[in-house]
Amino acid sequence: MFVFGGVVYHAFFHIIGSEVDIYGVLREPFPLLPLGYLLYLLGIGIYVWNWISGRKKSKKYKLNRP
């Protein structure tokens, strides 16, 4: 879900787009980029955490089996 949220944030960034106003100031939805990367990192981190803890549980189960 977090990775999907990151994809949505980056899609919104590209849909909204960037522009330079008449004073030469760049206007863009910049906070969407780091938040999207944060969601990627969070989603991948949770996946790896669950994968490692699942492997530990399966090894523990194999060792205690008669």
Averaged pLDDT for residues 44-58: 88
Confidence at residue 65, expressed as pLDDT on a 0 to 100 scale: 57
Q: How far apart are CA 21 and CA 19, in angstroms?
A: 6
Tens-digit pLDDT profile for residues 8-49: 999 999 999 999 999 999 999 999 999 999 999 999 999 999
Confidence (pTM): 0.77
**Dihedral sign from CA coordinates of 9, 14, 15, 19:** positive
Confidence at residue 48, expressed as pLDDT on a 0 to 100 scale: 95
DSSP 20: E
Query: Where does the pLDDT of residue 66 fall: very low under 50, low under 70, confident under 90, or very high at 90 and above?
Result: low
Query: Where does the pLDDT of residue 55 fall: very low under 50, low under 70, confident under 90, or very high at 90 and above?
Result: confident
Q: How many domains does the chain have?
A: 1
Domain span at residue 14 reads 2-64
